[in-house]
Amino acid sequence: MTTNEKLALLRGEMRRLGLAACVIPTADPHLSEYTPDRYKLRHWLSGFTGSAGTLAVTMDKSGLWTDGRYYIQAARQIEGSEIELFRAAEPGTKTYARFLTDELPKGAAVGIDGSLFSRSAADSLEKTLQKEGIRLESDCDFSVIWQTGRPPLPNAPAFALDVKYAGESAADKLTRVRAEMKKQGVTHYAVGKLDSVMWLFNIRGGDVHCCPFAISYALVGESDARLYIGEGVVGPELAAALNDEGVTVRPYCAITGDIAALPADASLGVDFAQTNCALTAAAKTCSLKNIRDIITPMKAVKNAVENDCLRECYNNDAAALVKGFYRIYKALDEGREITERDVFDMLIELRSRQPGFIGPSFDTIAAYKGNAAMMHYMPEEHGSALLKKEGMLLIDSGGHYLTGTTDITRTLVLGPISDEERRGFTLVLKANIALISAKFLKGTTGANLDILARGPLWAEGIDYKCGTGHGVGFCLNVHEGPQSFSQSLRSVPFELGMNCTVEPGVYIENAYGIRTENDVVVVPFKTTEHGEFYGFDLLSYCPIDVNGVDAGLLTQAERDWLNAYHAECRARLRSRLSAEEFSWLEGYTRDV
């Protein structure tokens, strides 16, 4: 069926339910960034494959809202359909809630699936609609129209993440969580976010594409903890190990009944922004309290064991990348055909040879020339661009390992590039160096520091329509909060042990895209009479293509930084590469 035909089916279901409109988010019941295929109704309906987007449909109009990473991609993928693209990050763009209130009369009803909306989001939408006399129905299951080809709920085996990697037992984590529960005045704490459940119990799974998660919930009491998970996912050995840590394994769907059965004197704490509204509705007898998320701030601060593991993890990951870079250039030099998709497949194969590899942390972005202007471009299996000895290839990729999660971008210069492209490449490098080299007072947020990366680009009238960096989980989500580099005033202060990517870029539609991304961890700098100061320690040591650098635009300090960085790359990677690969690396990282 075409997109318009699918929307006609949706409208038929809306009529049956007495609805004038509906909202289809990109979400699963755990509000995951990357959803299992079973929950990709928005993708199925609209044809847009990006990881962020919301579809709103009335009886005669439909709109898709997405952020700056996906403007180009979304426009291409919905082309030819009735759907209108709304660029959510652009000033003046109406929200989907405003779209609905503009289109609908008083007395109309809007439907959502409450299991796919956070309690906060559902409450906010309901409040906006009520002001215009429009009611919200939150118990609608629109997936009933997806009758053919809808994937089943995954059920891959879960496994334990050894404490030698995690650095802290589940029992110790539960002790910390309970201490915070007591501070916030609750007797029970419900956890819906998959990465939080995985972190809390030191388990991992294989239910979500590019995320080592088992679909599950957690309910923590003052003296007990329960893991709600699919039948057969937890084997006898893992169940026994969890029991030793004070964790009881329960059926996945039992959580709503267990919440409903909590006694009247119990107080259930949930973060309304992180928990779906259907789950909060299960609290029938006990009191329900919106509390600060407990686990996200804890897992954002990596312990010493995790950070030591991450350093080794990034070294191994860089070795896989350098082997891939070498293969790309060699294929081009020898006149062999190589496509974007070949690069995609090759990097998975090379990473799979590294110790503790579990899988890619996201679908590799291997984007040649103009394709790189789409920040989250993914090469198709058939018909992806053929690489040539000209222009640039952007490779944004990463892996999940027992020793951590990686995320790194390099832009390779495959042959002649324009002066404009070389200038852009160098400005991005300068932006990277400026932020990585920052020293800052304790209490500083990512919003305070973001200007350091944008400054060299803003000075030339250039900007990128996304954040500058995000936290990265430990064998968890590749995008992890609460820390980030962005202009958002909601960013939080950096703490020792937090890690974050640094990834400024230049994107010119239909022409080229440039991004250089490194990962850093917050470390102590010095303490003076003025306060406690922090800095960043680099985790990623992977070569930056000097063929794209205009040395005349660099200060002496920046040239020294790049040369020292490449010397460290060579030192770390020498034992991980063949003699031929290392010889190539020496030339590739020559001094500028």
For residue 183, the Cα-to-chain-centroid distance in whole angstroms is: 30
pLDDT digits over 221-259, tens only? 999 999 999 999 999 999 999 999 999 999 999 999 999
Task: Specify whether 340 is located in the same domain as 459.
Answer: yes
Q: How far apart are CA 524 and CA 504, in angstroms?
A: 24
Query: Residues 334, 381: one domain?
Result: yes
Place of tokens 């990282």: 589
pLDDT at 72: 87
Pair 264, 305 in one domain: no
pLDDT digits over 416-439, tens only? 999 999 999 999 999 999 999 999
Least confident residue range of 82-91, 358-367, 432-441, 562-571: 82-91
What whole-number percentage of the chain has pLDDT above 90?
Answer: 94
The model's pLDDT over 259-272, given as tens digits with 9 standing for 90+, comes to 999 999 999 999 99
In a domain, 497, yes or no: yes
pLDDT in tens, 281-307: 999 999 999 999 999 999 999 999 999
In angstroms, the CA 486 to CA 481 distance is 12
Same domain as 173, residue 108: no
Average pLDDT over residues 308-324: 98
Whether residue 569 lies inside any domain: the answer is: yes
Please indicate, yes or no, if residue 90 is contained in any of the structural domains. yes
Query: How far, CA to CA in Å, does 334 sit from each of 140, 329, 388, 401?
Result: 58, 9, 11, 33
pLDDT for the residue numbered 376: 81
Residue 465 confidence (pLDDT): 86
Residue 75 lies in a domain: yes
Locate 572 and state its tokens.
Answer: 């770390």
pLDDT in tens, 123-181: 999 999 999 999 999 999 999 999 899 999 899 999 999 999 999 999 999 999 999 99
Q: DSSP labels for 343-412?
A: HHHHHHHHHTTSTTEEEESS--EEEEGGGGGSTT----SSSPPBP-SSSEEEEEE-EEETTEE--EEEEE
- Please state whether the peptide bond connecting residue 151 to the residue before it is cis, i.e. omega within 30 degrees of 0: no
Last residue of a domain, one of 253, 273, 298: 298
The span from the CA of 592 to the CA of 585, in Å, is: 14
Same domain, 230 and 100: no
Domain that holds residue 133: 3-145
Average pLDDT score, the chain: 96
**CA pair distance 168, 380, nearest whole angstrom:** 41
Main-chain dihedrals φ then ψ at residue 345, nearest 5 degrees: -70, -40
**407 vs 194: CA distance, rounded Å:** 20
* 494, 346: one domain: yes
Q: How high is the pLDDT of residue 33?
A: 86
Q: Using CA atoms, how far apart are residues 314 and 474, in angstroms rounded to an integer? A: 12
The arithmetic mean of pLDDT across residues 178-200, rounded, is 98
Residue 136 to residue 107: CA distance in whole angstroms: 10
Whether 519 and 553 share a structural domain: yes
Q: What percent of the chain has pLDDT above 70?
A: 100
pLDDT computed for residue 323 by the predictor: 98
Query: Is residue 428 in a domain?
Result: yes
Indicate which CATH number applies to the domain containing 452. Answer: 3.90.230.10
User: What single-letter amino acid sits at 4?
Assistant: N
Distance CA 97, CA 45 (A): 19
Residue 89: pLDDT over 80:
no
Backbone angles phi, psi at 284, to 5 degrees: -90, -35
Residue 46: per-residue pLDDT:
96
Task: Say what the pLDDT of residue 584 is.
Answer: 98
Within 13 Å and on the Cβ side, how many CA atoms surround 497?
12
**Would residue 152 count as lying in a domain?**
no
pLDDT (0 to 100) of residue 446: 96
pTM for this structure? 0.92
For 394-412, what is each residue's pLDDT tens digit? 999 999 999 999 999 999 9
Pairwise CA distance, residues 421 & 511, whole Å: 9
Show which of 245, 270, 298 is a domain's final residue. Answer: 298
Examine the domain organization and report whether 307 and 294 are in the same domain: no
Q: What pLDDT is stored for residue 51 in this prediction?
A: 85
> Residue 16 pLDDT > 80, yes or no?
yes
For position 237, which CATH number holds? 3.40.350.10
Beta bridge partners of 310: none
pLDDT tens per residue, range 520-548:
999 999 999 999 999 999 999 999 999 99
